[in-house]
Structure 1
Amino acid sequence: MVVQEALDAAQMRLQDVDSIAVTVKPGLIMSLRVGLRHAQKLAKSAGLPVIPIHHMEAHALTARMIQKVDFPFMVLLASGGHCLLAVAKDIDDFELLGSTLDTAPGEAYDKTARELNLFQQPEFSGLSGGVAVERLARLGNPLAFPRIHIMTTVASCNFSFTGLKISAKRQILAEYERQGLSTHMLLPQAADICAWFQYNLLYHISRRLQRAFIYTDMHGLCGANKTLVLSGGVASNLYIRTKLSELCSAYDYRLVCPPQKLCTDNGIMIAWNGMEKLLSGRNFFQDCESIDVQARSPFGTDKSKDVSNSSIRLPKLLINP
């Protein structure tokens, strides 16, 4: 039993715990319900209070466990199911600047990896699509194909990755047809396609971040604490980290990333979020029986329309591929 193993490792009993934190939203209902029911069972058996946790809020605050990151700060959550750009004002107070309108970046990575048959290659067996594409991209030329223009006329901080995903698929199929190869084979240009795909994804994210930097500076949302936290599964990508660090430096922002093992979904971030709420001295507890799970849940106060209405024009983006 995972819980008992954790208690044994900490040399504690369940009765020694101050509270139980459990993810209740957003996510797959069945998975959330299994976790909640077990948390409720444990809470009843030991007479402990329960702190319900918002999955994305936990991702946003994980970096505070590793480094000193004071509120307010900007946070980019990029994963297989989400892409959110927000200002974190407190442990439960967020202003959403933009989000994905369709596909998440992690999903685009996985789809591209499948189209390239990377999972059928021994060297990529057992890896996620994101890791497989990142590794192969190191051997490729990001400028091998024309750049994809994503939402270039939309002055917002919202994201769209469907066009990139479709463009990558078309490029892959075109290469198979041009070379007369079976679509079950690995393309000779696979590394170039991975590098090109990844660079275009980075470029799109970077343009949205540029606008967010300008908007937050205009309104003093981050004050003197100009910090960007990058979290979520895509944050484990070292290429993305390196290039966004360069972008942050150009705008006098500090980039903070959790360790790679804490970027993907994990129980540690849920426990940390619960601890932050517990130590705040505020009442985040809920009656154990009244807590329920939610498949969808808003992330903070939506300020995305205000960003769009600001009509912020962007200077040229200088990022070396």
Structure 2
Amino acid sequence: MLCMNNISKRIEKFKFMSQCCRHFILGIETSCDDTGCALLDLNGNILGESLNSQQLIHLKYGGIIPPLAQDLHRNNIELVVNETIKQSGLNFKDLNAVATTTEPGLPMSLLIGMKYGKHLCRVHKKPFIPIHHMKAHALTARMFDKNIEFPFLVLLVSGGHCLLAIAQNMEDFLLLGTGIDNSPGEIMDKIARRLKLRNLIEYSALSGGQAMELAASKADDPLQFNFVIPMLQYKNCNFSFSGLNNQITRMINSEEKLHNVAPDEVLPTVNNLCAGFLLCMTRHICHRVQRAIEYIELNNLIPPANKILVMSGGVACNNFIPKGIQIVCDEFGYKLVRPPPKLCTDNGVMIAWNGVERWKANVGIYHDFENINIKHTSPIGKSIIDDISKANLKCKWVKLGSFIKSLCKKESRERVVG
């Protein structure tokens, strides 16, 4: 009799799971320069996805041109959505909802995605789920690691943002630190252009961050240039990268004069410059992460069982920076989780997954969506940055010596410091 009851329970569970899987969420992403779309079931299975990247087009202009990005989104969004639906083998009538990025991002880009998402909802009579771009980045890891439970620590690093936050649930975040000037991705793009890396064929189709990482991997002395770590005197978790940009710009000017570099030539010391810069950036980010962890432990904001740091955003694709962060995580018993590289950058999957989580929780689903609009800027959550500053935490920085030594040739290792 007990056996029959267990079998009945399993059958009911199977029926429930099968019914859940028959719910489908379409996600649309157009917050910046990539037109993305994906279709997921409630288990996070990707049934269809498509992405049109504008990277090579904007690379020619040295940065993203908003009107051009908008035109390219307008030209590609229907193709990208239709390709996703075609891959899934479903029809628009099979959808349960359409999730679309509405904040934050480039206004001209956001408008295209929002208008098209609402259009699909009107035509096919589906509810609309507005998505916060940064929250979607933060929660994507839960799609691949089912053991990530709220609350957990999030580090988002991209071409438009740099922030530390605690994800308390899918809607509520505590902001621990944010960028006070340029984002890391933006700075790396500028430096790669200044270093003229695109003049070398192997770097010509790479983003600034990708080009700098590749150049750094070829360095023979990452400690040749002495960079000063930003914001050491500020006892908060904020980030600043403009000073790093100024430092390397001065170094580049000096090196070009020293080596008598022609206008179209690349510096002979370019690899060491890139490595030194990325080392300093890594140390800066590690310092802010460590202070955040120490503040969290002091105030019991994350239970011991939830000691997870999710790192996402375009810069999380960089394999250089996470090596330093891993050392900090190991020191404090945190598990470092990064989504697959293609899902760290902007994509439709992360939007669809955030839509899935909202659908299952019945949160943020709108049948009357005409008054929902885009937001160019939008905080990820409640700021406790001032509280961290007032705590005046004096941290004994985790040494990154083992990581740095692995990058250095033998004769430069004695100069390694933590």
Q: TM-score range by the shorter chain?
A: over 0.9
Asked whether 1:162 is paired with 2:269, we answer no
What is the CA-CA distance between 1:287 and the residue it aligns to?
1.8
- Give the Cα–Cα distance (whole angstroms) in 2 for the partners of residues 135 and 61 of structure 1: 29
2:320 is paired with a residue whose SS is helix
What residue is the counterpart of 1:175 in the other structure?
255
TM-score, with length taken from structure 1: 0.98
TM-score, with length taken from structure 2: 0.75
**Pairing 1:61-72 to 2, within 5 Å after superposition:** 61-68=139-146, 69-72=148-151
Aligned AA (1:127): L
What is the CA-CA distance between 1:286 and the residue it aligns to?
5.5
What residue is the counterpart of 1:209 in the other structure?
289
**Pairing 1:38-187 to 2, within 5 Å after superposition:** 38-68=116-146, 69-140=148-219, 141-187=221-267
Rg larger in structure? 2
Aligned AA (1:118): L
What residue is the counterpart of 2:26 in the other structure?
none
**Pairing 1:188-203 to 2, within 5 Å after superposition:** 188-203=268-283
Aligned AA (1:318): K
Aligned AA (2:164): L
Aligned AA (2:378): S
- Give the Cα–Cα distance (whole angstroms) in 1 for the partners of residues 189 and 202 of structure 2: 16
Aligned AA (1:147): F
Aligned AA (1:142): P
What residue is the counterpart of 1:260 in the other structure?
341
Q: Residues 298 and 283 (structure 1 numbering): CA distance in 2 closer, same or farther, change over 3 Å?
A: closer
- Give the Cα–Cα distance (whole angstroms) in 2 for the partners of residues 242 and 63 of structure 1: 18
- Give the Cα–Cα distance (whole angstroms) in 2 for the partners of residues 88 and 58 of structure 1: 11
Contact kept, 8 Å, 2:229 with 2:283, in 1: the verdict is no
Aligned AA (1:129): G
One of 112, 116, 122 as aligned partner of 1:34: 112
- Residue deviations 1:143-197, cap 9 Å, x none? 1111313111100000000000111111111100112222421111000000000
1:296 is paired with a residue whose SS is coil
- Give the Cα–Cα distance (whole angstroms) in 2 for the partners of residues 185 and 280 of structure 1: 56
- Residue deviations 1:11-45, cap 9 Å, x none? 11111111000010111111111111111110011
- Give the Cα–Cα distance (whole angstroms) in 1 for the partners of residues 318 and 170 of structure 2: 26
What residue is the counterpart of 1:310 in the other structure?
391
- Give the Cα–Cα distance (whole angstroms) in 1 for the partners of residues 234 and 217 of structure 2: 31
Mean Cα displacement is larger for which, 309-318 or 79-88?
Answer: 309-318
2:370 is paired with a residue whose SS is helix
1:290 is paired with a residue whose SS is coil
What residue is the counterpart of 2:354 in the other structure?
273
Q: Residues 100 and 286 (structure 1 numbering): CA distance in 2 closer, same or farther, change over 3 Å?
A: farther
Asked whether 1:218 is paired with 2:335, we answer no
Long gaps (5+) in structure 1: none
2:166 is paired with a residue whose SS is strand
Contact kept, 8 Å, 2:236 with 2:288, in 1: the verdict is yes
Point out 4+ residue stretches in structure 1 off by more than 6 angstroms. none
- Give the Cα–Cα distance (whole angstroms) in 1 for the partners of residues 96 and 190 of structure 2: 43
Long gaps (5+) in structure 2: 1-78, 405-418
- Give the Cα–Cα distance (whole angstroms) in 2 for the partners of residues 146 and 44 of structure 1: 58
Contact kept, 8 Å, 1:52 with 1:286, in 2: the verdict is no
What is the CA-CA distance between 1:285 and the residue it aligns to?
2.4
Mean Cα displacement is larger for which, 160-169 or 241-250?
Answer: 241-250
- Give the Cα–Cα distance (whole angstroms) in 2 for the partners of residues 255 and 80 of structure 1: 21
Mean Cα displacement is larger for which, 239-248 or 284-293?
Answer: 284-293
Contact kept, 8 Å, 1:142 with 1:198, in 2: the verdict is no
- Residue deviations 1:60-82, cap 9 Å, x none? 11111111211110000000110
Contact kept, 8 Å, 2:153 with 2:310, in 1: the verdict is yes
Indicate the structure whose relative CO is greater, using CA pairs within 8 Å and at least 6 residues apart. 1
What residue is the counterpart of 2:314 in the other structure?
233
What is the CA-CA distance between 1:288 and the residue it aligns to?
2.2
Contact kept, 8 Å, 1:262 with 1:268, in 2: the verdict is yes
2:101 is paired with a residue whose SS is strand
What is the CA-CA distance between 1:294 and the residue it aligns to?
0.9
2:109 is paired with a residue whose SS is helix
- Give the Cα–Cα distance (whole angstroms) in 1 for the partners of residues 217 and 265 of structure 2: 20
